[in-house]
Amino acid sequence: MRIVLVGPPGAGKGTQAAFLAKNLSIPHISTGDLFRANISQGTELGLRAKAFMDAGDLVPDEITIGMAKDRMEQPDAAGGFLLDGFPRNVSQAEALDVMLEESGMKLDAVLDLEVEEDEVVKRIAGRRVCRNESAHVFHVVYAAPKTEGVCDQCGGELYQRGDDSEATVRNRLEVYHTQTEPIIDYYKAQGLLVTIPALGEVADVTKRAMDALQK
């Protein structure tokens, strides 16, 4: 299957993408991984992207599209893939359609993880990370530490990252509504959109998504 995964920040796209890709035996292609791989390998696209990122500028669509095209042409993606973070806007969605058409392929579904904005803010703004080990992550509501402000695993101080503040989260949501949300209507018009409620246990959300894809 060839699937695009969309949804606001905090909807659990990365978590669901990993589970769905494993269940469907297709590679999970995330924009973040593409950028890191191209930059670390020193590819032409990676060097171009890094120049924009180092200057604090947005990476142009053509570079992101080029990275995605290269990755989708790898042998492990011949039988399908799950795209996470791409396309991010309508022009990227149109470019993806052209790429697939040129290769004699098409998308099978676009999964939209639906979650209320206030829930997104609660999920992200409630995150607390250990200063000693960034992999130690807690949540003031959903996974509270035994002692407030103290990591259960190593005793380190827990803190809220700057990009997890409520103001930053709401700004990220505004960017999502402006730039990415229009692709939902774009894919709905093509009859590809499948909306999945993203509240509840991870396994429950995965099951909803798998059931919807099988239909």
Q: Domain with 95 in it: what CATH number?
A: 3.40.50.300
Active-site residue, 13 included? yes
Q: How confident is the model at residue 104 (pLDDT cuts 50, 70, 90)?
A: confident
DSSP 60: P
Active-site residue, 2 included? no
Does the bond joining 87 to the residue before it have cis omega, within 30 degrees of 0?
yes
Place of tokens 């960034």: 134
Given the residues 2, 13, 48, 71, select the one marked as catalytic.
13
The reported pLDDT for the residue numbered 137 is: 93
Active-site residue, 127 included? yes
Pairing relation of β-strands 158-159 and 109-114? unpaired
Prediction pTM value: 0.85
Domain hosting residue 32, numbered range: 2-214
Given the residues 50, 172, 188, 207, select the one marked as catalytic.
172
Task: Count how many domains the chain has.
Answer: 1
The reported pLDDT for the residue numbered 65 is: 92
The reported pLDDT for the residue numbered 148 is: 94
Q: What is the tens place of the pLDDT at every residue in 17-64?
A: 999 999 999 999 998 889 999 999 999 999 999 998 888 888 899 999
Given the residues 123, 127, 128, 208, select the one marked as catalytic.
127
Instruction: Please state, in angstroms and rounded to a whole number, the distance separating the CA atoms of residues 127 and 171.
Output: 17
The binding site comprises 10-15, 31, 36, 57-59, 85-88, 92, 127, 137-138, 161, 172, 200
138 contacts 29 by C-beta, under 8 angstroms? no
Active-site residue, 123 included? no
The binding site for ATP comprises 10-15, 127, 137-138, 200
Q: How confident is the model at residue 82 (pLDDT cuts 50, 70, 90)?
A: very high
